[in-house]
Amino acid sequence: MSLNLDEVIPLGRCLDEYIGMFSLTSSDLKLAILDCAGGTANFNAEMTRQGQKVISCDPVYQLTAEQIRAHLPEYHDFINGFEASRPNYLWNIFESPSQLAEVRWNATQKFLKDFPSGLQEGRYVTASLPVLPFENGQFDLALCSHFLFPDTHLSENFPLAAITEMCRVAKQVRVFPLLQSFSGVESEHLNPVIAELKNRSFTVEIQEVAYQFQIGGNKMLRVRGRM
């Protein structure tokens, strides 16, 4: 499984961001959940601490915690990056780039602390979409945050293949956001992907969520399989 480590590994999002991005209810949180492209988010660590069932998968999990730590952005570079792009974001969930850095840094530290034991327990699994090493219907819900539509390096066919694969392993899939990169513009792949999923008899809806940090980024895709 190849991994390009010339790129910085982003700081992870926190549990509250996941709850907002995916409109997770208290019933949802009790489900068997797969966090696809989980990266350095603290979702798995925090959910496990609360007694819930989450498995996260990502190609970076082939690295050790120390290797991941070595590829994180510098704290001040992270703040400066958001200072430079301040107008692209709504500053109500986070009041400033420095408060955002504090939240994401703490989330990432929680992930790094949890990672070695989580690996041993099988809660962190090295895997790369669009192929997942899980059984059909193993999960109730698969989540995918900030990977499929924002990543403009992915081929046109990638989001469809990835969502179809997530639907194989989970009864329901939620993807957030639907924007292309940092542009604030909806991904050009979105409508063709929705049309093809419907064509293949999946139930698809776009749902507005309460979480909006990137301006225009307040929609998630919800897909239910054909079971």
Ligand X SMILES: C[S@@+](CC[C@H](N)C(=O)[O-])C[C@H]1O[C@@H](n2cnc3c(N)ncnc32)[C@H](O)[C@@H]1O
Interface positions with ligand X (CB under 6 A): 10, 12-13, 36-39, 41, 58-60, 128-129, 145-147
Of 58 and 197, the one with the shorter C-beta distance to ligand X is 58
> Residue 40 Cβ, how far from ligand X at the closest point, in Å?
6
Of 128 and 172, the one with the shorter C-beta distance to ligand X is 128
- The tokens for 95 are 């009041």
Give yes or no for a contact between 167 and 188, defined as CB atoms under 8 angstroms apart.
no
Query: For residues 126 and 171, what is the distance between their CA atoms, to the nearest angstrom?
Result: 21
Of 38 and 159, the one with the shorter C-beta distance to ligand X is 38
> Residue 181 Cβ, how far from ligand X at the closest point, in Å?
11
In 104-162 the beta strands, taken as DSSP E runs, fall at: 124-125, 139-145
Of 35 and 194, the one with the shorter C-beta distance to ligand X is 35
Give yes or no for a contact between 23 and 209, defined as CB atoms under 8 angstroms apart.
yes
> Residue 150 Cβ, how far from ligand X at the closest point, in Å?
7
- The tokens for 175 are 């993807």
Of 6 and 226, the one with the shorter C-beta distance to ligand X is 6
> Residue 82 Cβ, how far from ligand X at the closest point, in Å?
14
CB atoms within 10 A of CB 95: 9
| Residue 23 falls in which region: left (phi positive, over 0), alpha (psi -120 to 50) or beta | left
Cα 105 from chain centroid (whole Å): 16
> Residue 37 Cβ, how far from ligand X at the closest point, in Å?
3
